[in-house]
Structure 1
Amino acid sequence: MPTHLTHWGAVEVETDGKALTSLRPWSGDPDPRDIIRNLESAQHHPARVLRPAVRRGWLESGASSRASRGDEPFVEVSWDHAIDVVSKELNRVYSEHGPSAIYGGSYGWASAGRFHHAQSQIHRFLNKLGGYVAGLGDYSYGASGVLLPHIIASAGEIMGGATSWDVVSEETELFVAFGGLSEKNSGIAPGGIGRHVARSAIEQAVARGCRFVDISPIADDTYAEAKAEWIAPRPGSDAALMLSLAFVLDSEGLADQDFLARYCVGMDRFLPYLKGDTDGVPKDPTWAERLTSIPASRISRLAREMASSRTMINLSWSMQRQQHGEQPIWLGVVLAAMLGQIGLPGGGFQHGYGSAADIGLPLRVASPPSLPQGPERVAAAIPVARISDMLLSPGTEIDFDGRKIVMPKIELIYWAGGNPFHHHQHLARLRNAFKKPATVIVHEQFWTSTARHADIVLPATMSFERDDFGAGRNDPTFFPMHALTEPAGEARDDYVIFAAIAEQLGVGEAFTGGRDAMGWLRHLYDGWQAKLNDDGVTVVDFDTFWASESIQIPVINQDQILFSEFRRTPDAHPLRTASGKIEIFSQTIASFGYDDCPGHPTWIEPDEWLGNTTTFPLQLIANQPKTRLHSQLDIGKTSQASKVGGREPLRMHPHDAAVRGLKDGDIVRVWNRRGSCLAGLVLSTALRQGVVQLSSGAWYDPDPDDPSFCRHGNPNVLTADKPSSSLSQATTATHTLVEVEKWHGPTPGLAVNRPPSFVSV
């Protein structure tokens, strides 16, 4: 059976040329995931975008109708008409306003293929036209992505160079997982994943005697095979817990002073705060118990266990998707430094075991080829999570990583490969923000909320409807990805769409280089093969690769250990920080003068957490879903099977449900000051009392009369659109306070599982 690569695993498929008729996991994957079943059920779903469509008001009146965006029916048009109107509108905006008026952020995971990666396609296209406004950072680890380069290394260096799972399984004695060690998140990887290896490594570690400690409000967000001890602090109090662990290490003489002296700077600036000399508050376990609700005795014992074991500290991505999310990440690095095990086999820290499937895979000799985006012509850039602020308040100034950014005035949004109505917060506010530009153009496979809030929607192919090749980030398995079926409806590849518009705008040759998609695949592969050959690495030629099931890209060192070279010879292999060492205190960050992110890690109380429930009594955790990747293929079979009464499931502890008179299977209203949504109740003792969990990714389905009310269960109608800090301006999507009550009225119907209304003009 032909193979195909997806973000959640490789698959083997059978088709009749029009649709997938059979799908099973790739035989080479030791731990496949059921989420692949979303693929076969989605291609010909009623919500598929089949033909180019233009919002009626925009077609008739242009930008003057922007207030009706998201509320009007669409008019299906021919491809020739669609290419013509898009080309004319791009020409108008570039001519009248310039590239600083076009937002081409295109944030999202897009498809697993390397060539047809939508972000690469749209950025190359807009670069050829003169430039665009770009997004800085990401939603996944936006806070740590800005912080980590200042204190130790870039997030990419840390995750790509992660101590390999083979080493963890053989050497780690205590694995402390702050934020869990998620089975569902480690099933997926940007660009795809061939073999899932984490489960077997965890099993081997446990069999050898390694202990796992899960520090999270959700017990089952860690592999069952880890047999982990569950410690459930109040959500948002992780920094307080970690400070108290550091206090014990210091006060009991358990910190590795030699390591701190040789490899770190700033401990002398941090200790007065830790001890309470600067503010009169010692950060001891008794102090932390009041904030976290974890007994002081257990905190002290955990610190001693960490000091007496080869300890791996794991920091999940979820920990920094909250207000002041930089602080627990910084403190995780500080704890690892105090233990003195950074650079040792099985010790130190990692940011993301369990957050993506590729973390813990050893580095390859080279990444597979991808479409060059050309000379970058970024007219302006904003932190990616500040899109609503940009659209609503052009001209305002914000802080970001030590500099000031002025928000540009956007006339046109061009989006391909992503769904901001999934990633972003406070969706009623985003919906209002999306009404500000003159034009919104979207390439989409499905009628997502982003497509429904656009003016021009161009139907794009799914990955198995086009030729491509793919290998996930750090994954050594490189797959040819043959087109397996014809496109649904009139869908076209993003490349074909951009090539047609580029041709009409006079930059066709510059965009295509005179090649079709297959020409590009061969050209990119041949150049990659030649470079590897020059480096002494042999790979097969393109024709052999294209006829194969997959090939393997050699890895550099199977027994990879993060920062081992730095530990061996810190002078010869300094870090890329200002000091060349691990920065427990950062003079650079201190110089920025941010009250919400000072020069060393600090406890800063969140605005919304269980330590202050004066308004809403329950802490909502809006984590990643088990049954899809973000919002991708929410209409797929696996995702739909998880719904309760057609709504996204909300998990709640039975005690909290009993207090509210709720029972399993009830349709409930989840609400706070920003909005409300319906969900289907699922009772579970795997949650800490006072915590409810509603995963992100249910397609936003606003009530026509109230955009703050989602009938389907998207938690981002509830989350606050506020930054983690002035340093990163990153998302705080994971935590918010809510109340839950039974829904007593008629259950409203859903619009997300069908296309919007179409009219003729």
Structure 2
Amino acid sequence: MGFTSLHWGVYRPRVVNGRLTGMDPAHWDGDPSPIGASIPGAIDSTTRIRRPAVRRSFLERFDDHPALRNLHLRGNEAFVEVSWDVALDLVATELARVKSEHGNQAIFGGSYGWGSAGRFHHAQSQLHRFLNSYGGYAYSVDSYSLGAGRVLMPHIVGNMDWLLGAHTSWQNLAEHCELFVAFGGLPVKNAQCSPGGASDHLVSSGIRQMSDAGVRFVNVSPLRDDLLGPEHTEWLAVRPGTDTALMMALCWVLVDEGLHNEAFLREYTVGHERFIEYVRGAVDGVAKTPEWAALLTDIPAHRITELAREMAAKRTMINVAYSLQRAQFGEQPFWMTVTLAAMLGQIGLPGGGFGLGYGCMNNTGSGRKAFSGPRFSQGVNPVKAFIPVARVTDMLLHPGESFDYNGQRHVYPDIRLVYWAGGNIFHHHQDINRLLTAWQRPETIVVHEQFWTAQAKHADIVLPATTALERDDIGSAASDRFMIAMHQAIEPVGEARDDYAIFADLSRRLGCESVFTEGRDAGQWLRLLYEESRPRARSFAIELPEFEQFWHDGLIEVDYPPEETVLLKAFREDPLANPLQTPSGKIEIFSETIAGFGYADCPGHPVWLDKPAQSLPLHLLSNQPKTRLHSQYDHGSYSQASKIQGREPMTINRQDAMARGICDEDVVRVYNSRGAFLAGVRVSDDIRPGVVQIATGAWFDPLVKGQANSLEKHGNPNVVTEDIGASSLSQGCSAQTVSVEVEKWHGELPAITAFAPPEMLA
């Protein structure tokens, strides 16, 4: 059996009598992800969707007005299994009706991009290409992970994708860095994954090389285990949401003691004078001193002063985790990271400067060129209506209303049909109880899914899709070491079909088959996409063999030409010849463009903005899981083994637990005004007091199905997170700005039903 590629690694499937029995990590991977162990047993479990299914009221009242289809019963009604012909006829009829009555802008293509590591059978690309072939759709931009950063960074440094691909390499850091200051930590668990695949895990070895070279690490995080492994690590247990204040106080010390690099600021940045005036207190009367920051951050003033001096004296890399910008005013810590690094003047030097998400993705810091392999074109979308991805609920609840985004006013489209392939909004989105109300608004919801997730259970028409192991594909990711020929390992479970086959059948019914398929089957597309990637590879000085050789051999080790990777090195060496893609061509500590937008919640330079006072005593952090990718394979063995009495584990400080009579492995109720969920407890001294932490991705499991404000009994934190934009600039998600209370659960525990299929009628 050959290899297959998943977002969290390359594995060799073990198949006995047609059934998957194991997943063996690639022999070359020095730090393979154990998530692969979840797939056998889960891939063909009772949670698998085996046949097309239609919600009962939708099927029975299909010929009636859409309002009569009992939309409020989504999530709490039986399904009827039907043939593929019946299901596809229903989907085609609804698409044609909505297009005829309301136009293509009333169709929302709601895919999120983690559907498959394969470059052809990539659910998001397949859905978008199909809808574009049919005349377009309302779409989303940015991501839940990096919404604020993606909008901000082009204004002040450059495009986020370019920046991530150009980060200073781990090897360079091991050779030249002396001090690595990690705001939000450097959690290796997050680096198990990369979009398109992670064939060779790099982060653990990169950190180990730096540690062996004597690099000192500072973990600025409420969680000690956000940075584990290096021999010399200091933990600064900062109060959540105050990293911006800490960075400003570090800048104050640099300016006050003359340690900032004035020459660098004058040559490579714009607006530093206005920022320094702000830090000194000339603008708002508040000097951003260590004493000021100590009251906000709980980091002692003398330690802030010492750290600033150490950063100025050593070659320092400043890194910020994605999680810090998933908060109210989330742009500020990213902007301040760049500003603090500019004040030190080490940007563009080996081992110094700044990083945006080391440890958040496996390929960040690989030191390889950003060649990504085959690409499947999504076509051109003639519809211009869009939303920032984290504003789905607002779109459904407030059609026709306006919203701010990146300096412009836009209008929410009036969505009548939601088509989702890849992703699970009942995992990603904030304030799920509010989402449940919004989810009753569309007239039709169509979902492609492999498993009976909450997304599938809250749909009208569910089409069973294949997994990566049930089809041929090509695994490839930007800067990744290997390209994988993903030979089909097992037959499709039940009647599952791949997304391409589903959309090809639909396009035939809707008269756009020639545009969507271009007359090719899936195998012909694989050959074409691969051959089209070969000339692009040559532009990166990479030579790929012909398709037949690649497909026969099963993989290619991509021969990346060696080069020293230092972020913004060329810009530092000659800023006139290598200007940044910003209005000034320089780093914009003050942005005239952003200032011109007039946003009080994101003005023209980094600022400290007071967040509303916490209404409850505990700050909840909901970070990425260790045992799965987002919510994928939560029903698998690795994720299930981490549960406590069937619930997602939540970490609480020992003092906070004792004050509430809570012991290790108890089940607790976590609540605020938006909702409540149950979680298992891990009591620890490795989390600061006043903070609790739970991973995202536990499958949504309400006590009363389909009802908003019901107790969630499995541990999904998004029933309590607030659904507001990070700011008017980005409208990114703000999941990390939330307070809760916790109490011990007494009485009988409700059964977990998250993984049970809905009732099926004959």
TM-score range, shorter chain: over 0.9
Deviates more, 1:329-338 or 1:558-567: 558-567
How far is the alpha carbon of 1:371 from its aligned partner? 1.2
Q: Distance in 1 between matches of 2:541 and 2:684?
A: 55
How far is the alpha carbon of 1:530 from its aligned partner? 4.2
**Residue deviations 1:538-595 (CA, integer Å, cap 9, x gap):** 2111011011242133335442111111011100110011110000000000000000
Aligned partner of residue 622 in structure 1, secondary structure:
strand
How far is the alpha carbon of 1:476 from its aligned partner? 3.0
* Match of residue 723 from structure 2: 721
Count, aligned residues: 755
Q: Distance in 1 between matches of 2:232 and 2:712?
A: 37
Alignment of 1:645-684 (within 5 A): 645-684=645-684
Q: Distance in 2 between matches of 1:5 and 1:92?
A: 39
Q: Distance in 2 between matches of 1:592 and 1:25?
A: 50
* Match of residue 364 from structure 2: 359
Conserved 8 A contact 2:4-2:13: yes
Q: Distance in 2 between matches of 1:383 and 1:450?
A: 20
Indicate yes or no: 2:401 matched with 1:396.
Answer: yes
Structure 1's 536 and 701: CA in aligned 2 closer, same or farther, altered over 3 A?
closer
* Match of residue 742 from structure 1: 744
Deviates more, 1:368-377 or 1:383-392: 368-377
Q: Distance in 1 between matches of 2:148 and 2:624?
A: 17
Letter in 1 for 2:188: E
Indicate yes or no: 2:303 matched with 1:298.
Answer: yes
Conserved 8 A contact 1:2-1:14: no
Deviates more, 1:237-246 or 1:40-49: 40-49
Conserved 8 A contact 2:541-2:561: no
* Match of residue 177 from structure 1: 182
* Match of residue 383 from structure 1: 388
* Match of residue 496 from structure 1: 501
How far is the alpha carbon of 1:537 from its aligned partner? 4.1
Indicate yes or no: 2:606 matched with 1:601.
Answer: yes
Q: Distance in 2 between matches of 1:362 and 1:125?
A: 36
Structure 1's 258 and 661: CA in aligned 2 closer, same or farther, altered over 3 A?
same
Conserved 8 A contact 1:181-1:221: yes
Deviates more, 1:78-87 or 1:59-68: 59-68
* Match of residue 195 from structure 2: 190
Question: Please, what TM-score do these two structures have when normalized by structure 1?
Answer: 0.98
Q: Distance in 2 between matches of 1:7 and 1:295?
A: 41
Aligned partner of residue 266 in structure 2, secondary structure:
helix
Q: Distance in 2 between matches of 1:531 and 1:111?
A: 23
Indicate yes or no: 2:470 matched with 1:468.
Answer: no
Indicate yes or no: 2:757 matched with 1:755.
Answer: yes
Conserved 8 A contact 1:343-1:567: yes
Letter in 1 for 2:471: R
How far is the alpha carbon of 1:61 from its aligned partner? 1.9
Letter in 2 for 1:472: A
How far is the alpha carbon of 1:377 from its aligned partner? 2.6
Conserved 8 A contact 1:618-1:739: yes
Aligned partner of residue 210 in structure 2, secondary structure:
helix
Conserved 8 A contact 2:135-2:381: no
How far is the alpha carbon of 1:27 from its aligned partner? 0.4
How far is the alpha carbon of 1:535 from its aligned partner? 7.4
Alignment of 1:434-453 (within 5 A): 434-453=439-458
Structure 1's 483 and 452: CA in aligned 2 closer, same or farther, altered over 3 A?
same
How far is the alpha carbon of 1:532 from its aligned partner? 3.9
Structure 1's 280 and 550: CA in aligned 2 closer, same or farther, altered over 3 A?
same
**Residue deviations 1:451-479 (CA, integer Å, cap 9, x gap):** 11100000000001000001123213111
Q: Distance in 1 between matches of 2:496 and 2:179?
A: 51
Aligned partner of residue 634 in structure 2, secondary structure:
coil
**Residue deviations 1:635-690 (CA, integer Å, cap 9, x gap):** 01000000111111111111111100011111110000000001111111110011
Q: Distance in 2 between matches of 1:391 and 1:13?
A: 42
How far is the alpha carbon of 1:38 from its aligned partner? 1.4
Aligned partner of residue 13 in structure 1, secondary structure:
strand
Q: Distance in 1 between matches of 2:651 and 2:498?
A: 39
Cα RMSD (Å) = 1.3
Q: Distance in 2 between matches of 1:535 and 1:589?
A: 35
Letter in 1 for 2:720: L
* Match of residue 135 from structure 2: 130
Of residues 562, 566, 578, the one that matches 1:561 is 566
Q: Distance in 2 between matches of 1:568 and 1:549?
A: 42
Indicate yes or no: 2:267 matched with 1:262.
Answer: yes
Alignment of 1:154-169 (within 5 A): 154-169=159-174
Q: Distance in 2 between matches of 1:318 and 1:582?
A: 23
How far is the alpha carbon of 1:227 from its aligned partner? 4.0
Conserved 8 A contact 1:364-1:553: no
Conserved 8 A contact 1:177-1:214: yes
Structure 1's 189 and 97: CA in aligned 2 closer, same or farther, altered over 3 A?
same
* Match of residue 53 from structure 1: 53
Question: Please, what TM-score do these two structures have when normalized by structure 2?
Answer: 0.97
How far is the alpha carbon of 1:171 from its aligned partner? 1.0
* Match of residue 519 from structure 2: 514
How far is the alpha carbon of 1:16 from its aligned partner? 2.8
Letter in 2 for 1:136: V
Of residues 543, 552, 559, the one that matches 2:557 is 552
Q: Which runs of 5+ in 1 are unaligned?
A: none
Of residues 88, 96, 116, the one that matches 2:93 is 88
Letter in 1 for 2:143: D
Of residues 720, 730, 733, the one that matches 2:735 is 733
Alignment of 1:206-225 (within 5 A): 206-225=211-230
Conserved 8 A contact 1:667-1:681: yes
Alignment of 1:480-491 (within 5 A): 480-491=485-496
Conserved 8 A contact 1:362-1:555: no
Aligned partner of residue 82 in structure 1, secondary structure:
helix
Indicate yes or no: 2:712 matched with 1:707.
Answer: no
Q: Distance in 1 between matches of 2:485 and 2:109?
A: 29
Q: Distance in 2 between matches of 1:446 and 1:238?
A: 39
Deviates more, 1:554-563 or 1:3-12: 554-563
How far is the alpha carbon of 1:513 from its aligned partner? 1.2
**Residue deviations 1:427-460 (CA, integer Å, cap 9, x gap):** 0111111110000000000111111110000000
Letter in 2 for 1:135: S
Q: Distance in 2 between matches of 1:630 and 1:473?
A: 20
How far is the alpha carbon of 1:70 from its aligned partner? 1.4
* Match of residue 6 from structure 1: 6
**Residue deviations 1:337-392 (CA, integer Å, cap 9, x gap):** 01111111110001010111110112436321121112233331111000000000
**Residue deviations 1:255-296 (CA, integer Å, cap 9, x gap):** 111100000000111111100011111000000001111000
How far is the alpha carbon of 1:74 from its aligned partner? 0.5
Structure 1's 533 and 574: CA in aligned 2 closer, same or farther, altered over 3 A?
closer
Q: Distance in 1 between matches of 2:696 and 2:538?
A: 44
Aligned partner of residue 225 in structure 1, secondary structure:
coil
Q: Distance in 1 between matches of 2:661 and 2:472?
A: 54
Q: Which runs of 5+ in 2 are unaligned?
A: none
How far is the alpha carbon of 1:17 from its aligned partner? 5.6
Aligned partner of residue 760 in structure 2, secondary structure:
coil
Q: Distance in 2 between matches of 1:491 and 1:697?
A: 24
Conserved 8 A contact 1:17-1:486: no
Letter in 1 for 2:15: T
Aligned partner of residue 184 in structure 1, secondary structure:
helix
Q: Distance in 2 between matches of 1:184 and 1:365?
A: 23
Q: Distance in 1 between matches of 2:560 and 2:309?
A: 37
Q: Distance in 2 between matches of 1:113 and 1:639?
A: 23
Q: Distance in 1 between matches of 2:45 and 2:751?
A: 18
Deviates more, 1:545-554 or 1:91-100: 545-554
Aligned partner of residue 739 in structure 2, secondary structure:
strand
Q: Distance in 1 between matches of 2:271 and 2:397?
A: 40
**Residue deviations 1:503-542 (CA, integer Å, cap 9, x gap):** 1111112111111111100111122224545876421110
